[in-house]
Amino acid sequence: MAQAEVWLLRKALRDHPGHLQRSAEQLGITRQSLYRRLEKHGIDPQAGDA
């Protein structure tokens, strides 16, 4: 299940590079929740390898 969440997070970041609010909206969560989930999975939102 965690792998699916990581995949969705990375996809949202790729779909909206540099726009975390749009990525969060795509996922149906707040920007604050997006930050928490990225931190939980060790994903850097500014990294180009999302």
Higher pLDDT, residue 2 or 48? 2
pTM confidence score = 0.88
Long-range contacts of 9-18 (CB under 8 A, 24+ apart): 9/34, 9/37, 9/38, 9/41, 9/43, 9/50, 10/43, 10/50, 13/43, 13/45, 13/50, 14/50
- pLDDT for the residue 49: 58
* pLDDT tens digit sequence for 17-47: 999 999 999 999 999 999 999 999 999 998 7
- pLDDT for the residue 50: 58
Residues in the chain: 50
CA nearest to 6, candidates 41, 49, 31, 36: 41
**What average pLDDT does this structure show over 5-19?**
96
CA nearest to 35, candidates 45, 26, 25: 45
Residue 14 pLDDT > 80: yes
